[in-house]
Structure 1
Amino acid sequence: MALIVVVLHRISMLSLPNAVAVILLAAFLACITLGLAVIGFFMLWQIGAKGGHASFSGLVMALLVLGPVSVAASRHITLPTLHDVTTDVDDPPNWLEPPPFSSSWLPRSDADDPAARQAQREAYPQITGRRYEGAIDRVLLAVNAAANEAKWDLVANVGADALVDGLEEIPEPEADAEAPAPTGEADPARAPVPVPRPDTDSAWFEPLPTYALLQYRTETLILGIPQDVLVRLSEEEETTFVDLRAATRDGNHDLGLNAELINGFLRDLDVRLLGIAGG
């Protein structure tokens, strides 16, 4: 039952709240199976009753379900009740497109509640932004590379397009198959036409933005739990500050998934921008 539910949720045929409900039912049945297996082993030891193989099979099947459920339960108890984590607790970046939410039997609280932000500050003191000694366009290229490697899907962005323009390598022009072979003689029809040189001294160039927001969508590898990620880049003089925000869409507890996502992405970004990372 648990395996079928995981597969159905992974292929988006079953919503997460319904999947959690069925997995809890499977865990309840696994607890009964574990108790019956223990009774079977006790009777086998005491009076030599048959059923040792059945008890062992029931024990293995029960542990396959109760193992992951126990890990999730321990995280639910030891970690704070958060579904939204950010590197800037005082001024979290605002979503470009609010993540969709469907009401269900799972409770849901306000992510910007001061009590929740204080709980995050106490539970994840290591979740802080990064300051890099570099221009915002260079940091943006590293962010795009890290997001592409993590297979994040870009949902929306503000200011990123203007920074990316002109940064990619220009592809080599394709050869014209119909062009005649060179003969060594000048062709008047193909002679260059002189044009006036642009007046760059009096021309006005729009300055590059010093602020960018990128919103992504991703999901966990095994269970396929959807997560929304927001990356904020702000340039201050010769440094660029990077903040992240990650949130799960269902329930009131992320079981630490958002904090792990932020930590992993920032570690990857530090490696890509090695030598210019600061506090």
Structure 2
Amino acid sequence: MIRRRLYVEERVSRLAVWSLRTAVFALPVTLIGLALYLVEALDFRSAAYTVMAGVAVAALALLMALAGFVVIWNEGLRGLGRVLGAAALALVLITPVAALAAFSVGLPVMHDITTDTEDPPQFVTLAMARGRNTNPLAYAGDSAAEEQRIAYPGIKPIEFDGLPDDIYTALMRLVAHHKWLVIDAVPPRGGIRDGRIEAVARSMPFGLRDDIVIRIRPTANGTRVDMRSLSRNSDRDFGSNARRIDTLFSELSEAQGRPRR
């Protein structure tokens, strides 16, 4: 007599299957947006839209995973591993964007910060090297100056008793230390002209390019240093430009052996 075994096939939750597929699809969409921006195939805004599309798909996958978990719990279906995998992958994509949004709350929508709002340091070489789809280099004027004064009251010029050439040399060391890409460097030559350092830096969290110009100006009592840091593509810098200026001026003051006022 042939014995027959009875196999009871456990059904797999379709929500579990599709939540994982959706989360997997969201991953390359998000990474492609970031990769194309890093290789300069997309401008920042287009890359941001692509990343946000990927995050939106990830959010949909997370909702499907939660719904799938409820169905599995109530009906005893298979697919718990898929649900957990989809939720984990979706959260990996969603969490950085959510954290960035929370971090940006309260920060001004600014992208051009300068220590001299009346006579901002001017870009010369970078003005010719930047692409057409970038933020303008012309300073926005009184409205931007007032907004900066309220948001970052500590961003001011700094003065030293030292010679312009010595301050210029110290600044070049600090720029090299921060690994900023120097585009042009004009020494003050004994104080007969303004010194100028133009460089490009990458800012967090997306590696956005920021353009920097530092002006070393001789004064009757020594040297005055002004700095301008401007985001190349984004209209929001998440405070990175102000932090960069504040950090550099604090390091320069320490290198010159005097407290920053």
Q: How does 1:109-128 map to 2 (within 5 A)?
A: 111-128=139-156
- Contact map agreement 1:109 1:252 (CA 8 A) in 2: no
- CA deviation profile, 1:145-193 (whole Å, cap 9, x unmatched): 01111222222344x1635xxxxxxxxxxxxxxxxxxxxxxxxxxxxxx
| 1:151 corresponding residue in structure 2 | 179
Secondary structure at the aligned position of 1:5 is classed as helix
Report matched runs for 1:156-171 at 5 Å: 156-158=184-186, 160=187, 162-163=189-190
Q: Given the two structures, how large is their TM-score scaled by the length of structure 2? A: 0.77
Q: C-alpha displacement at 1:84, in angstroms?
A: 0.6
Q: Which moved more, 1:79-88 or 1:250-259?
A: 250-259
Partner SS state of residue 209, structure 1: coil
Cα RMSD after superposing both structures: 2.7
Q: Tell me how many residue pairs correspond in the alignment.
A: 231
Are 1:250 and 2:237 counterparts? Answer: no
Does the CA-based 8 Å contact 2:194-2:216 persist in structure 1?
Answer: yes
Alignment-derived partner of residue 207 in structure 2: 224
Aligned-pair CA distance for 1:85: 0.7
Q: Is the 8 A contact 1:136 1:210 kept in 2?
A: no
Computing the radius of gyration from Cα coordinates, the structure with the larger value is 1
Q: How does 1:91-102 map to 2 (within 5 A)?
A: 91-97=119-125, 98=127, 100-102=130-132
Q: Distance in 2 between matches of 1:239 and 1:157?
A: 20
| Correspondence 1:15 to 2:43 | yes
Residue equivalent to 1:31: 59
Q: What is the CA-CA distance between 1:14 and the residue it aligns to?
A: 3.4
Given the superposition, is the C-alpha separation of residues 129 and 47 from structure 1 closer, same or farther in structure 2, using an over 3 Å criterion? farther
Task: Give the Cα–Cα distance (whole angstroms) in 2 for the partners of residues 58 and 2 of structure 1.
Answer: 15
Equivalent of 2:117 in 81, 86, 89: 89
Structure 2: runs of 5 or more not aligned? 1-28
| Aligned residue among 67, 71, 77 for 1:49 | 77
Looking at secondary structure, tell me which structure has more helix per residue.
Answer: 2
How far does residue 4 in structure 1 lie from its aligned partner after superposition? 3.2
Structure 1 stretch displaced more, 243-252 or 35-44: 35-44
Does residue 234 of structure 1 match 2:217? yes
- Deviations 1:191-247, CA, capped at 9 Å, x for gaps: xxxxxxxxxxxxxxxxx4263222112223773311110101123233322111001
Among candidates 53, 63, 66, match of residue 91 of structure 2: 63
Structure 1 residues 116 and 229: alpha-carbon distance in aligned structure 2, compared to 1, 3 A threshold: same
CA deviation string 1:13-67 (max 9, x = no partner): 4332221111010111111112112222333444433322222212221122212
AA of the residue aligned to 1:79? L
Note if contact 1:9-1:16 (Cα within 8 Å) is conserved in structure 2: yes
- Structure 2 counterpart of 1:52, which letter? L
The whole-number CA distance in structure 2 between the counterparts of 1:131 and 1:226 is 28
- In structure 1, stretches of 5+ residues that fail to align are 164-207
What is the TM-score of this pair, normalised by structure 1? 0.72
